[in-house]
Amino acid sequence: MTRKQKRFGLIAGGAAFLGLALALVLTALNQQIVFFVDPSAIAEEPLEPGQRVRLGGLVATGSVERGQSELVRFSVTDGLAAVPVRYQGILPDLFREGQGVVAEGEMSPDGVFLANTVLAKHDENYMPREVADSLKEKGLWEPDGEGGGSYVEPETTAVSDTPTASVPATQ
């Protein structure tokens, strides 16, 4: 074996080792990555039951229903569609209707998003970046000239036929 062949073998072996290591890292991360989706994306392409995602949007006006033992039902809307959400636990103090929210969880077979984490905004000017970007893409965000903006609420459509999915249009 010539010196050139040994060098080529060493480089090929190193590249194969790095490729295998990269494949293992990506496989491990794929199980931990949680993608952000908005209600319109779910309406266009429904999620597989059990697929973990972060659902972002605004808490639909008039949709919050508090049940027994910290069970809360509400809808998340992006102005074009709404997704019913069920959450068991204590909501953040700043959770309110019409405010930005990000819920992490999975879609159940009956079309209800089962959240196990709910994040709410932390001041009047804050909107989760993913939610604000999604609203800007849909033309539902009016910039105020100071780096902030406000949501423009259009008619919404329900993603699911469940009673909590319907979101009344407000002015």
- Residue positions forming the annotated binding site for heme: 122, 126
Q: Where are the alpha helices (DSSP H) in 33-122?
A: 39-44
63, two tokens: 């949709």
Q: From the annotation, which residues make up the binding site?
A: 122, 126
The residues near 29 (Cβ < 8 Å, ≥ 6 apart) are: none
**Three-state secondary-structure class, residue 158:** strand
The residues near 79 (Cβ < 8 Å, ≥ 6 apart) are: 58, 135, 138, 140, 151, 152, 153, 154, 156
